[in-house]
Amino acid sequence: MREKILEIVSAFLTGAGSGFVVYLILYSTFLFLAVIVGAWTLYYKNKKRRFRNISDEKYFIPVSIIVPAYNEEVTVVDTVRSLLALDYISYEIIVVDDGSKDSTTKTLVEAFGMKKIRRPIRKQVPCKDVETIYECFDQKVPLVLIRKKNGGKADALNMGINACRYPYFICMDADSVLQADSLIKITEPVLADENVVAVGGVVRPCNDVELENGWVKKYRLPKNPIACMQVIEYDRSFLSTRILFDKFNGSLIISGAFGLFKKEAVIAVGGYDSKTMGEDMELVVDLHKYCTVNKKPYAIKYATDAVCWTQAPERLRDLMKQRKRWHLGLFQTLMKHRSMAFDFKSGPVSFISYAYFFIYEFLSPFIEAFGIIVTAIALISGLINWRFALLFTLLYALFGAMLSLTSFFARTQTAELTLSFKDVLKAMLMCLFEITFMHFVLTYVRATAFIGYRKKKLQWGRIERKKINLK
């Protein structure tokens, strides 16, 4: 009897171990393909830029920039100033103060000499009530500040949608800075395809980067290892899967930090869902679903050279909070749109994008935790050769680090950013650090994200704010 139990346990461990290895191999293959496609795309774009294959004349598509803000008194003025300095003509800026407890509104009103105005707002998508509206017209473009009752980021964005007057709007974070040419770049897909309903931009951490008039004056990797690790992580993420998914109109995420949307389409899906934490992903999935169901031709694009610089959290606690939020948002979106899972009418967005996000983003922390435990037991009980396990782990770590490094180099080179020798070495070390340490910390964070889930619902994600290095 004991032998039989041992046999079953052994068979289970062997099976689970093999399954885990297959999972890792499939994931590596997918990531590998994504990085290759991403790097190739960036080099091709670079060639296009070298031969000036870009719109020579500047055709300005009018856009409204919506900046939702909650307790952003430290950064909001700089953010608005950077928006006013953009290399673009036809746009308006709408800051929505979501009932901040600090002096976000006061700071803005004083900095730009804004005046109170009684403005009726037509609620086309649901949002909490307006408290006060301020406007000013003596800036380069109209600047509007709406102070409303607290309702969360999605609710603030919905207010912005209701108030904006142009057919396309851009959503961004109040602690981010858009590169000077970012609006020209993000509107390019709209000029090229009339069916574009959304365009995602690239988000890059700006910790320790010097920006002047919306351009990078000095690029260097952050001194803080947590922020530095995120630079590598962001570059890999924005180079790999996003570009690959873009090839078959399968993007499921447009970062809340920088994205362009067609107002009409967003209103048709009811705006941002204020009941989810991942409102950015939810909106994109909603757009896919709406257009597929209603048989509307549509495209959701990714502009690889429209850059938004953002602050990456420098404290582990802040990073953990942020990632928990993201994981819960992912879960809520995947659950809300679970009908997409095997809806083959939706095309590759269902069986590639949705499947990828479900298996390799949502389930991965659980699969990885399970795999590690099973491997450890199998190792202890002598079912696996420890030399093989060690070699496999090392190879896997090295492979991951190489992929990250390839993405990082491809991204910095094609963006014409100069790296010092010190930064190249730092990047190499960080790639290893990320795959051997941070990855496991974040796996733990994501696996335990559901603890206290109800309490965290609909709160703004807060991280410690610092002034951005702007000149």
Describe the crossing of helices 386-414 and 225-239 by its angle, rounded to 10 degrees. 80
Using CB under 8 A as the binding rule, whether residue 26 contacts another protein is answered as no
Taking CB under 8 A as the criterion, the residue among 403, 415, 442, 470 binding another protein is 403
Using CB under 8 A as the binding rule, whether residue 54 contacts another protein is answered as yes
Residue closer to another protein, measured from CB, 232 or 449 = 232
CA gap 372, 378 in Å, rounded:
10
Q: What are the phi and psi torsion angles at 178 (to 5°)?
A: -90, 140
For residue 461, the 8-state DSSP code is P
Using CB under 8 A as the binding rule, whether residue 56 contacts another protein is answered as yes
Taking CB under 8 A as the criterion, the residue among 12, 59, 366, 437 binding another protein is 59
Count, residues near another protein per rule CB under 8 A: 49
Q: For residue 81, what are the CA distances in angstroms to 139, 213, 223?
A: 10, 10, 26
Using CB under 8 A as the binding rule, whether residue 141 contacts another protein is answered as no
Using CB under 8 A as the binding rule, whether residue 55 contacts another protein is answered as yes
Describe the crossing of helices 364-380 and 2-50 by its angle, rounded to 10 degrees. 130
Does residue 297 come out as left (phi exceeding 0), alpha (psi in the -120 to 50 range) or beta?
beta
Taking CB under 8 A as the criterion, the residue among 87, 193, 208, 210 binding another protein is 193
Using CB under 8 A as the binding rule, whether residue 43 contacts another protein is answered as yes
CA gap 374, 10 in Å, rounded:
11
Residue closer to another protein, measured from CB, 127 or 445 = 127
Taking CB under 8 A as the criterion, the residue among 10, 14, 16, 28 binding another protein is 28
- The residues, ordered by sequence, that sit 6+ positions from 248 with a Cβ below 8 Å of its Cβ are 347, 348, 349, 352
Radius of gyration of the chain (CA): 23
Lookup result for tokens 């990078």: 216
Using CB under 8 A as the binding rule, whether residue 370 contacts another protein is answered as no
Residue closer to another protein, measured from CB, 35 or 300 = 35
Find the shortest distance in angstroms from Cβ 328 to another protein. 33
Binding interface with another protein (CB under 8 A): 21, 25, 28-29, 32, 35-36, 39, 43, 47-48, 50-57, 59-61, 115, 117-120, 122, 135-137, 190-194, 391-392, 395-396, 398-399, 402-403, 405-406, 409-410, 413
